Amino acid sequence: QLQLQESGPGLVEPSETLSLTCSVSGASISRSNDYWGWIRQPPGKGLEWIGTFFRSGSTYYNPSLESRVTISLDTSKNQFSLNLTSVTAADRAMYYCARAPLSVMRYFDHWGQGALVTVSS
Amino acid sequence: AIQLTQSPSSLSASVGDRVTITCRASEDLSSGLAWYQQNPGKSPRLLIYDVSTLESGVPSRFSGSGSGTEFTLTITSLQPEDFATYYCQQFNRFPITFGQGTRLDFK
């Protein structure tokens, strides 16, 4: 069965780069026709879509974050990653990776358990 | 970006009650709407997609309806595990956006 698991540093200094990895089991990202995305949720607040990518290399980012975001794939490890540059306190959030079945403009049917990232010096 | 406004923002109910949560969009969504349930400290769980299609494994007491810019999530006969926060999400137009959430708690 499909499972996603986020990992990465829980603390990032202001102006630095936030880097998280999502490990996928139960499916091969490089052979799947599904899309894979990142969503974040500041403590006590709602959900914000960050971006989605496809194995072909196509990426789709939220315009509000596009200048700072990169999502990439590591096929050898069946993982995909999120890099968010120049972080501030406003980037403190739980970061989720998730699957969007068969299309970028889709719902997310499988989610990781989340990784909490705090921005502080 | 399409704005999604959920109402109410919070709701108190009892086990066995029927509740309805509304999601209003700033533009026509066609059928590109989903609903999620999130319990404290947990990831969102997909309940309904394409306005009214129940995700596999989701109890039939959950249902979705609507069209255009107004959509509803209805829970009939509330169970203790249903007290959570609910979010709508639109995927009809880029960028993907979510409603602000509706918190459902015990009366």
E-assigned strand segments in chain B:
4-7, 10-13, 19-25, 33-38, 45-49, 53-54, 62-67, 70-75, 85-90, 97-98, 102-106
Q: Per mean pLDDT, which range of A56-60, A63-67, B14-18, B68-72 is the poorest?
A: A56-60
How are beta strands B102-106 and B10-13 bridged, if at all?
Answer: parallel
From the list A49, A96, A114, the residue facing B95 with the nearest CB is: A49
Q: What tens digit of pLDDT does each residue of B70-102 get? A: 999 999 999 999 999 999 999 999 999 999 999
Question: For the residues B8-18, what does the mean pLDDT come to?
Answer: 97
Res. A35 pLDDT band, cuts 50 70 90: very high
Per-residue confidence (pLDDT) for residue A75, from 0 to 100: 84
Q: For chain A, what is the mean pLDDT?
A: 95
Q: For chain B, what is the mean pLDDT?
A: 97
CA distance A84 to A96: 14
CA distance B19 to A100: 28
Question: For the residues A33-44, what does the mean pLDDT come to?
Answer: 95
Q: Which residues of A touch B87 (CB under 8 A)?
A: 46-47
Is the confidence at residue A96, as pLDDT, over 90? yes
Is the confidence at residue B43, as pLDDT, over 90? yes
Per-residue confidence (pLDDT) for residue A104, from 0 to 100: 77
Please, which residues bridge with residue A6 across strands? A22
From the list B43, B87, B91, the residue facing A105 with the nearest CB is: B91
Res. A119 pLDDT band, cuts 50 70 90: very high
Per-residue confidence (pLDDT) for residue B95, from 0 to 100: 95
Q: Which residues of B touch A114 (CB under 8 A)?
A: 43
